[in-house]
Amino acid sequence: MERRLTYAEAIREATLQEMDRDPSVVVMGLGVEDPRPIYGTTRGLAERFGADRVFNTPLAEEGMTGVAIGAALAGLRPIHVHIRMDFVLLAMNQLVNIAAKSRYMSGGAVSVPIVVRSIIGKSWGQGAQHSQGLHALFMHIPGLKVVAPSTPYDAKGTLIQSIRDDNPVMFVEHRLLHGVTGPVPEIPYTVPFGRARVLAEGDDVTIVGISHMAIEALRARAHLERAGIGAEVIDPVSLSPLDMDSIEVSLRKTGRLLVVDCGWTTCGASAEIAVQSMERLQGARDLRIRRLGFAPVACPTTRPLEDLFYPDARRIASAAYALVHDKPELWEPPEASDEAGAPGPADIEFKGPF
């Protein structure tokens, strides 16, 4: 029988196995030793590996990021955990001015093998400062790698890859993914960066869904299927480096691109994917493009507005339908189709190709 873990369990297992394998791996962050240890992802690590290798930090994001960088320069491989991505903004100087640049501006004399785990919050009134998907800020910076896996399998494989990577890696999680289950082999394995994953095939439209939006895109695909539209759903997995080759292959087939991000669209990951698609295919393939992301405001806490703030499966389906039929969004999935089996976020499960 297939072994299944939650996304959170997959992260914990990756961390534990790498700490077993390599004594230079350390875990640090506010809450990593808590009774509620980062949604279970760091549970039991301190007991097993000791206080030198797993430790709570002061609330000093910039300073502790610098500490992680310094420890990495001395040969450790720190995993620095932020329970919300919003707090990483306090560490931008260390990440952008130091971590990203140390290797290049030293002519290769040093490298900074750190992993910065951070979690995008969503729902239950998380509000403006507990909900931001800021991965595009890091994609902008040469010298940082950015990954945002959506499945338990990729969470484990990309985290192990991140830990073994000799460079700074921003490891982006989404709170709603932590409970998602899927097949995860027990043996340690890596998922290489720069390879997108085709989650489902289709001929009519390519939907690129980033992080949690990959799941919403799969739900949208179920709606679209009932309307006679075949959507190909691609999870980029790694945002920097970005696997544009796989997206291009899909676009040569469908000619229609919908990028859905859990972040804002302006200067965002969706903008990058859209323009690179255009640069590759202009003149070679007729291409129609749409993007969906956060509404261009701060995230409101009240539920009716919060629901409007986020793209969801129904709006993704409407946008994809409009792309395929070359007209504004008049179509919406019938209400009945929600009940007819498009799975909710907690129910989403993944089969193959892994």
Partner 1 sequence: MDLPLQRSGLVDPATMARLYRSLRRIRRVEEEIARLYPTDRIKSPVHLSIGQEAVSVGLCEALRPDDVVFGTYRGHALYLAKGGDLRRMMAELYGKATGCARGKGGSMHLIDVAHGVMGASAVVGSTIPQAVGYAYACKVRGQEALVASVFGDGAVEEGVFHESIQFAVLKALPVLFVCENNFYAIHTPLAERQPFDNICERARSYGLPAARLEADDVLRVHERMAEAVHHIRRQRAGPQFLECRTYRWREHVGPGEDFDLGYRSREEAAAWMERDSCVRLGALLDEPARARIDAAIEAEIEDAVRFAEASPFPGPEELHADLFREA
Q: Does position 104 bind partner 1 by CB under 8 A? A: yes
Please give the Cα distance from 55 to 38 (Å, whole number).
Answer: 13
Please give the Cα distance from 169 to 95 (Å, whole number).
Answer: 10
212 tagged catalytic: no
Residue 83: CB minimum distance to partner 1, A: 18
Residues 170 and 203: beta-carbon distance below 8 Å: no
Residue 138: CB minimum distance to partner 1, A: 14
Q: Does position 48 bind partner 1 by CB under 8 A? A: no
Residue of 5, 16, 25, 76 that binds partner 1 (CB under 8 A)? 76
Of the candidates 219, 166, 213, 215, which has an alpha carbon nearest to the alpha carbon of residue 193? 166
**Read out DSSP for 138-204?**
HHTSTT-EEE---SHHHHHHHHHHHHHSSS-EEEEEEGGGTT-EEE--SS-----TT--EEEE--SS
Residue of 52, 326, 335, 339 that binds partner 1 (CB under 8 A)? 52
Cβ proximity to partner 1: between 97 and 282 the closer is: 97
Contacts of 141 (CB under 8 A, 6+ apart): 95, 96, 100
80 tagged catalytic: no
Residue 192: CB minimum distance to partner 1, A: 12
Residue type, 6: T
Q: Does position 45 bind partner 1 by CB under 8 A? A: no
Residue of 68, 81, 196, 244 that binds partner 1 (CB under 8 A)? 68
Residue 343 phi/psi, 5-degree rounding, is: -70, 145
Contact flags string 136-155 toward partner 1, x per CB under 8 A: ------xx-x----------
Q: How many CB atoms lie within 10 A of CB 285?
A: 14
Residue where the block lists tokens 């750190």: 114
Q: How many CB atoms lie within 10 A of CB 177?
A: 27
Q: Does position 167 bind partner 1 by CB under 8 A? A: yes
Q: Does position 93 bind partner 1 by CB under 8 A? A: yes
Name the burial class of residue 201, with classes exposed (0-12), middle (13-18) and buried (19+) by CB atoms within 10 angstroms of its CB: middle
User: What region, left, alpha or beta, does residue 77 occupy, with left being phi > 0 and alpha being psi -120 to 50 degrees?
Assistant: beta
Residue of 20, 110, 284, 297 that binds partner 1 (CB under 8 A)? 110
Residue 328: CB minimum distance to partner 1, A: 43
Q: Exactly one of 18, 61, 216, 232 is catalytic; which is it?
A: 61
Please give the Cα distance from 26 to 75 (Å, whole number).
Answer: 11
Residue of 4, 31, 40, 73 that binds partner 1 (CB under 8 A)? 73
Residue 313: CB minimum distance to partner 1, A: 37
Q: Exactly one of 80, 82, 130, 223 is catalytic; which is it?
A: 130
Residue of 31, 40, 66, 300 that binds partner 1 (CB under 8 A)? 66
3-class secondary structure, 78: strand
Cβ proximity to partner 1: between 39 and 49 the closer is: 49
With CB under 8 A as the rule, give the number of residues binding partner 1.
41
Residue 26: CB minimum distance to partner 1, A: 8
Residue 128 has what DSSP assignment? T
Residue of 71, 180, 196, 200 that binds partner 1 (CB under 8 A)? 71
Q: Which of residues 301-330 bind partner 1 (CB under 8 A)?
A: none
Residues at the site binding partner 1, with contacts judged by CB under 8 A: 26, 52-53, 57-58, 60, 62-76, 78, 93-94, 97-98, 102-111, 142-143, 145, 166-167
Please give the positions annotated as active site.
61, 130
